[in-house]
Amino acid sequence: MHSFALAVEQLSHRFDGVQALTAVTLHIAPGERRAIIGPNGAGKSTLFNLIAGAMPVQTGRVWLHGRDITHLPVPARANLGVGRTFQRNNLFAGLTALENARLAVQHRERINRHWFKHMGGFTAVHTAATAVLQQVGLAEQAHIKAGDLAYGQQRALEMALALALNPRLLLLDEPTAGMSPAETADTINLIQSLPRDLTLLIVEHDMDVIFTLADQITVLHYGQVIHTGPPAKVQADEQVQAIYLG
């Protein structure tokens, strides 16, 4: 498993007798941009929550860069490099974009106190927070309260908070949900601009977004993997077409 950024082996999960996932296996290379697609109820959110540590694993294993993280809690996974955005914004609406980013950087530096002390403490936090806002195109909105930002800007800020933790694996949960076409285009450009050594796992319903961003696509149906491959092959697969086109 050491050659993979993320390895999921035989992951299964049940809710009150209902089988949500059955023996799901994923092998994702470092720097890969993998999309997970499937109809509503396919198990995408359950899989995301298990990888992120938001739900306990019942059966199967999860590895991050060769390290078994199956039973680690969310903070421990974050400290090892698992970042996540959510379908709903997870921001402090009454704080500015910069203040939100500072909090994310401060959380990271509680784990790396040597860096924090060596780089000058709060000055370093301010510099790092400013840099991550610049990365997502929010430098000019730094002093605007998060609750006053446009929706697309709020989603960009949430991505900034995830990036502030220096993730090695970033889980993007419906990154363009609820966006206008212009906001969607901006978000696609933002994701494409992320460093290529950052591994991405994306859940998204907009197929145009998926086919633009993904190197590989995994299709879930009733909690099982039915196909994994590059976008063109997934798009041409008869079973996938039957699921989406009926």
Q: Give pLDDT, residue 24.
A: 98
Please give the pLDDT value at position 111.
45
Instruction: Grade residue 246 by pLDDT with cuts at 50, 70 and 90.
Output: low
pLDDT tens digit sequence for 143-183: 999 999 999 999 999 999 999 989 999 999 999 999 999 99
Average pLDDT rounded to a whole number, residues 92-101:
94
Choose the weakest-confidence range: 2-6, 135-139, 228-232: 2-6
Residue 157 — φ and ψ, nearest 5°?
Answer: -65, -40
Return the closest-CA partner of residue 158 out of 133, 180, 134, 183: 133
With cut-offs at 50, 70 and 90, classify the pLDDT of residue 109.
low
Cβ-contact 160, 192 below 8 angstroms:
no
- Position 14 scores a pLDDT of 96
Please name the residue that has the structure tokens 């950087």.
105
Per-residue pLDDT tens over the stretch 113-151: 554 445 445 678 889 999 999 999 999 999 999 999 999
Task: Answer with the residue of higher pLDDT: 111 or 69.
Answer: 69
Burial class (CB in 10 A: 0-12, 13-18, 19+), 70: middle
The pLDDT of 105-118, averaged and rounded, is 59
Tell me the domains of the chain and their CATH numbers: 1-81+167-246 (3.40.50.300), 92-166 (no CATH)
Q: Which residues contact 59 (CB under 8 A, 6 or more apart)?
A: 10, 11, 12, 13
User: Quick one: average pLDDT of 33-48?
Assistant: 93
How far is Cα of residue 168 from the mean position of the Cα atoms in its chain?
10
Predicted pLDDT at 89? 74
Of all residues in the chain, the percent with pLDDT exceeding 70 is 91
Work out the mean pLDDT of the chain and round it to a whole number. 91
Determine contact, residues 173/85, Cβ cutoff 8 Å: yes
**CA proximity to 162, closest of 204, 126, 208, 200:** 200
Q: Which DSSP helix (H) or strand (E) runs through 171?
A: strand 169-173
Position 110 scores a pLDDT of 60
Between residues 25 and 114, the one the model is more confident about: 25
Closest CA to 203 of 27, 18, 98, 49: 49
Looking at residue 175, what is its pLDDT?
A: 94
Query: From CA 150, how far away is CA 170, in angstroms rounded?
Result: 23
The residue type found at 12 is S
Distance CA 50, CA 70 (A): 8
Residue 130, beta-bridge partner list = none
Average pLDDT score over residue span 217-229: 95
Residue 88 pLDDT > 90: no
pLDDT at 213 over 90: yes
Start-to-end Cα distance in the chain:
37
